[in-house]
Structure 1
């Protein structure tokens, strides 16, 4: 893929250097995935280790079904020869097949949704099996049970993808409608999404993280592109406008928000995956669905990766084919996050400004998780089709 094609091409029309960075990062992702691929799946993380000679290496730790499913979505967007390169010679069907085979042991709604989504978009013959497991886990929920916003969004995205793929799941239209109503109901009259749909701890019930905005925005935009659902588009537009209005002066996509007002509760950490992948992915899906284009905001977020006020350390590590995970406060006990959640629960605009001086954002988290590279590919190489005439904008 050249910069003049697809989403990087659109970005090049307003910011050539940002588009060049995207091309560079796509190549890095293809090279960076194989070191985390083992035994037909992916490690949880590649953690940086500094040797006696001062050089960094990255060692794999753990396993993650969730991250493997996200990688499958991303790698499926590559040309066939590059898919095998990213998976150390395997195919996307190999990876998705292994994930589907392990579904009886998957008890998390979000993990099952991601596997079903990857199966549907890759055209895997076991898509029906994945959708059936997702239905089983949904059936365990009773009305009023809390559901994580991210997982509710992934469930809707998976079902919309299955509908687009023509999957023959029982009552697929009804399941899409249920997932749609749950996600829209979780927003209600708030400016942004909260972390949980349903009951939550009082001191942070009003808080939503960046992921809680991105994935619903994406799912609702996709629903509109598929069905022309005007209410879904309006909600997606509300979320997009909210996170873009709150974006930092150097392009930072901040971490925690007061869902009631849209104001930032706590900005740090700033994550590489948000800057390179998740914000572009959701906002570009919105534009593809006929909504507002936020290319300028996307470009600002990308430029944070190469120049930022928090640290001079390089976050793009070419010699290891990865990005360091985040720039964060020197606050391992997450005191700032907790204090500001409590303060804003009582007084929405409380800041406790002294915490910015006591815990400056100078730390770098030297690890890279496979989903970060998977979403990067998906964000920049996917183009969302519009299936419904009402989704033309």
Structure 2
């Protein structure tokens, strides 16, 4: 994994230092010490910001980011509490949940922290049988990461192999993208969305995948290859990473919805800040190490867009409020254009709704921030602790 002081572009290096600083400040604001949990989000209300909800998934992700940090940074975020104490609370909840995402992220955090109960988290993860039961692609990728990352010796490589094989079946050869669910999965009929991950799509949208559906698999399969030497994992990670860079927007945007049949973009917006400064970098850094390719230009362009977006909006990096806002979206009814574009492309891969940029321009900023974003920034851009 690359460190900030290894970034050749001095401007990008300074920008990532700024992002790290804002991530630490934001995590400190979002941590609810009495509950040992991070909030679900920080949201702007007029001139103030308020915390809403609590999230164990986001708490685990924050711990993953904090695992490599200097103790002074950790103290700034958690106060007198330790990451191990926070992780203990997450582990104690694992037997009460059927949420694979929560279990996988908690296991990942526990192993990175070398937590004494990491083996317990690994056992619970195995009992959920990822790769054998129906789980979405993103959660399978987190499972693989949880089991192959450097950290605690407590792991289960046999389970990692099963999850990785299932993850590979989600890859579409013709498009170089990943399905939302592995091949052959019987998708549970769950209502809507669970914890921010789409667990069910209408029939008219089964050809749609989103940016997260291939970023996390690229990261996971790259790490899996480095541990096991699995050539197929490296090949798939490389092909998807290269296609991902080919689809990047002209100003560095990472677009949102894609057609798994053709590999083309279906709908560009929203553009999420976490994709620009964290998720794309951590996936491409992993692919670069596994496959010997250089994705620096794509990473740098993505970060620069966040500070200087080409859309008619201010930067999502709000230094005055010490926060990084969540996304830029189209002005208009939420998810309308995404739904229409999915329906049109479902009728024929080449069909798109014309004139959407004029009718629904991308000028709406989502004034909220989530702790998982901050955790991924720290994970993607490790340093020696000096901000």
When the two structures are superposed, what TM-score results if normalisation uses the length of structure 2?
0.90
Aligned counterpart, 1:42 = 38
Deviation string, structure 1 residues 209-255 (Cα, Å, up to 9, x no partner): 00111100000000011111111010001110111000001100000
Q: Does 1:152 align with 2:140?
A: yes
Query: Which residue of the other structure, out of 165, 170, 188, is the alignment partner of 2:152?
Result: 165
2:276 matched to 1:275? Answer: yes
Aligned residue for 1:27? Answer: 21
Q: From the two aligned structures, give the one with the greater helix fraction.
A: 1
Determine helix, strand or coil for the equivalent of 2:281.
Answer: helix
Instruction: In structure 1, list runs of 5 or more residues that go unmatched.
Output: 51-55, 384-393
User: 1:150-204, CA deviations, whole angstroms, 9 ceiling, x for partnerless residues?
Assistant: 0111111111127x6321x5xx232111011100011142420122223564311
Contact kept in structure 1, 2:222 and 2:237, CA below 8 Å: yes
Deviation at 1:91, TM superposition (A): 1.7
Partners of 1:369 and 1:231 in 2: how far apart? 34
Taking the aligned partners of 1:365 and 1:252, their CA distance within structure 2 comes to 16
CA distance in 2, matches of 1:261, 1:8: 36
1:194 paired with 2:174, answer no
Greater displacement, 282-291 / 365-374: 282-291
The reply to whether residue 219 of structure 1 matches residue 220 of structure 2 is yes
Task: Report what 1:312 is aligned to.
Answer: 313
Is the Cα contact below 8 Å between 1:196 and 1:205 reproduced in 2? no
Instruction: Tell me the distance in 2 between the aligned counterparts of 1:178 and 1:18.
Output: 38
What aligned pairs does 1:381-392 form with structure 2 within 5 A after superposition?
381=382
1:208 and 1:256 in contact (8 A); partners too = yes
* Contact in 1 for aligned 2:241/2:284 (Cα 8 Å): yes
Within the candidate set 157, 173, 177, 2:161 is matched to 177
1:311–1:37: structure 2 CA closer, same or farther, 3 Å change rule? same
Structure 1 Cα separation of the partners of residues 324 and 345 of structure 2: 33
**Deviating more after overlay: 127-136 vs 270-279:** 127-136
The residue number in structure 1 matching 2:5 is: 9
Where in structure 2 are the equivalents of 1:232-251 lying within 5 Å? 232-251=233-252
Q: For residues 202 and 191 of structure 1, what CA distance do their matches in structure 2 show?
A: 22
8 A Cα contact 2:66 2:375, kept in partner: yes
Distance in 2 separating the partners of 1:32 and 1:94: 20
1:68 positional shift: 0.3
Q: Which residue in 1 is equivalent to 2:294?
A: 293
Secondary structure class of the residue paired with 1:237: helix
Q: Which runs of 4+ in 1 moved over 3 A?
A: none
Q: CA separation in 2, counterparts of 1:132 and 1:321?
A: 40
User: What secondary structure, in the 3-state scheme, does the structure 1 residue paired with 2:209 have?
Assistant: strand
Give the match's secondary structure for 2:255. Answer: coil
SS in structure 1 of the partner of residue 22 of structure 2: helix
Mapped to 2, the partners of 1:6 and 1:352 lie a distance apart of 41
**Inter-CA distance 382–204: structure 2 relative to 1 (3 Å threshold):** farther
Q: Is the partner of 2:129 in helix, strand or coil?
A: helix
Give deviations 1:332-379, integer Å, cap 9, x for gaps: 331111111121122112221222221111100000000110000000
Distance 1:320 1:122 in 2: 31
Structure 2 Cα separation of the partners of residues 223 and 362 of structure 1: 39
2:258 partner SS = strand
**Superposed displacement of residue 382, structure 1:** 7.5
Deviations 1:99-146 (A, max 9, x none): 11121222111110000011011100111111121122227x8x5x54
Q: Cα distance, 1:312 vs. partner?
A: 3.0
| Structure 2: runs of 5 or more not aligned | 187-200
TM-score, normalised to structure 1's length? 0.88
Q: Which deviates more, 31-40 or 348-357?
A: 348-357
Could you say which residue in structure 1 is the equivalent of 2:197?
Answer: none
